Amino acid sequence: MSPSDPFRVIFVCTGNICRSPMAEAVFRDLAEHQGVGPLIVSSSAGTGEWHVGERADERTLEALDRRGYDGSKHRAKQFTAASFEENDLVVALDRTHERILREWARDEDQEGKVTLLLAYDRDADGLDVPDPYYADTTMFDAVLAMIETATRGLFRQLEPALRQSRTTPRSTPRI
């Protein structure tokens, strides 16, 4: 990895059609608006293969659109062993995903890349972003609000190192 490579963050949920596409879109938008978009690549994946190739859930797309985010290009994919190598940070949306990802990690370096999104929201009530799949539109909006808050917290942790990387050789930001 060269110093000019962007920092790569992947958000992981179950099927990659609800929560993780939301986090991917929010994080990408935040990086663009903060002027560090070229320094970050935001992606997402699911632990399962059920929805590979599908668009995000329509309710996800509608929730994103209501808040000004674009999720229209999203296509679900599954997290693979290569995903650890391709990304600098692996952000799980709940503790089940975190446990699965840590089990899939081949070594301490890969396991050390795994973190929970809600760990970056000091006011969160718990560590799991609830799965809105079997809920109504209101729940999708509530989940998106949780993701926005936690994503801002994650971004605040990463931003100083990202901005510094413009002038110095790149190293993985410590969070």
Question: Which residue in the list 55, 67, 102, 131 is annotated as catalytic?
Answer: 131
Angle at 172 between CA 162 and CA 117, to 5 degrees: 80
7-13/89-92 β-pairing: parallel
Q: How far is CA 70 from the centre of its chain?
A: 15
Amino acid letter, 17: I
d(CA 3, CA 17): 32
The DSSP 8-state label assigned to residue 78 in this structure reads B
Listing DSSP states for 97-123 in one string gives HHHHHHHH-SSHHHHHTEEEGGGG-TT
For residue 131, indicate whether it is catalytic.
Answer: yes
d(CA 33, CA 31): 6
For residue 75, indicate whether it is catalytic.
Answer: no
For residue 57, indicate whether it is catalytic.
Answer: no
Which tokens sit at 29? 């938008």
Question: Which residue in the list 18, 19, 29, 88 is annotated as catalytic?
Answer: 19
| Active-site residue list | 13, 19, 131
